[in-house]
Amino acid sequence: MNILICDDEPLGRERLSRLVVEAGHHVVAQAPNGLDALAKVSEFHPDVLLLDVRMPEMDGIQCAEALTGLQNPPAVIFVTASDQHAIEAFQKQAIGYLLKPVNRDDLSAALNRASRLNAAQVNQLRAANHGDSSTRQHITARTHRGMELIPLDSIYYFLADQKYVTVRHAGGEVLIDETLKELEAEFGDRFIRVHRNALLAIPFLEGIEMVATGQYQVRFRGIDERLAVSRRHLPQLKDKMHML
C-alpha cells in the first residue's frame, strides 16, 4: 500500500518511514502538519495516512475531520505520544491508534487492518473501476496481504483454471474471480485470446514458435514462460504479430 506519514518531528517521520518499508509498504510522502497532509493527500492519493495528533497549524484531529469530506479519503491511523485523544480519534473514523514509540508488530497489524476492505468498499472500488471500462488501469485482487491493485501495464497474461483466473504480472501471480470473457470484453484492445483459457498482453508478445507438428506456443518479453496457442486462435495471433 501507499502510505503518507504526517508528524511534526522529523526523526519521528523517519522512524515511521523505516518501519513502513520494513513492513513491505511504500511511503509516498511525508508532511509536518495536518494542513500539509491534506495537500499531499490530494497530490499523492495514499491508501493510508499515519497521522500524529498534536501538531502546529493543524492538528491530527482537525485533519481527520477535514478528510471525512473527501469522496475517497485514505484510511487513518493515529500515531501519538498520548492516549487521551483515543475516543475522539475513533469518532473521526480512524482504524487504528498507535502510541509512540510505535511497535513494529502493532504497526504491521494496523496496516493489515487498513488493507482489508469491507464489502461496501470493495463494491465501490469495483464500480469505480468498471464505470468507464476504457479507463480502468488496475486489476483488483484479494491476497494474504489484503486488497491489492495490479497495474494493467504490468500484466503478462490471464490464465483461467476452473473458477479462478491467474494474473501473471511483473511482481508475481495473484488470483481473481473475474472471468476471461469479462476481461476480454473490457481489455480486448490490449489483450488477445490465444487459447480458450488464456489472454495474452499484446505489448509483451515477443514471438510464436512451433513445438510439434501443428502445435505452437508464444514467447514473452521479460519472462521465460511459454503458453500454448490453440489452432483456432493461431491465425488471429499471427495477424496481430505481423502488425507489431
Q: What is the pLDDT of residue 144?
A: 64
Q: What is the pLDDT of residue 116?
A: 56
**42-92 tens-digit pLDDT:** 899 998 999 988 888 888 888 887 887 677 788 888 887 765 554 454 444
**Is pLDDT above 90 for 192?**
yes
Rounded Cα gap, residues 27 and 161, in angstroms: 35
Q: What is the pLDDT of residue 215?
A: 87
| Choice between 109 and 132, residue whose per-residue pLDDT is larger | 109
Q: What is the pLDDT of residue 104?
A: 86
Read off the pLDDT band of 188 (50, 70, 90): confident
Q: Which pTM was predicted?
A: 0.48
Q: What is the pLDDT of residue 40?
A: 92
Q: Strand runs (DSSP E) across the chain, as ranges?
A: 2-6, 26-31, 48-51, 75-80, 96-99, 138-143, 146-151, 155-161, 164-169, 172-176, 191-195, 198-201, 205-212, 215-220, 226-229
Percentage of residues of the chain with pLDDT beyond 70: 81
Q: What is the pLDDT of residue 11?
A: 92
Q: How many CA atoms lie within 13 A of 146 on its CB side?
A: 17
| Choice between 213 and 11, residue whose per-residue pLDDT is larger | 11
Contact 220, 205 (CB under 8 A): yes
Q: What is the pLDDT of residue 28?
A: 95
Read off the pLDDT band of 147 (50, 70, 90): low
Average pLDDT of 202-207? 91
What are the CB-based long-range contacts (under 8 Å, 24+) for 32-35?
32/6, 32/7, 32/8, 33/6, 33/8, 33/57, 33/58, 33/59, 34/6, 34/58, 34/59, 34/60, 34/62, 34/63, 34/66, 35/63
**Is pLDDT above 60 for 127?**
no
Rounded Cα gap, residues 166 and 164, in angstroms: 7
Average pLDDT of 124-148? 58
**Is pLDDT above 90 for 16?**
yes
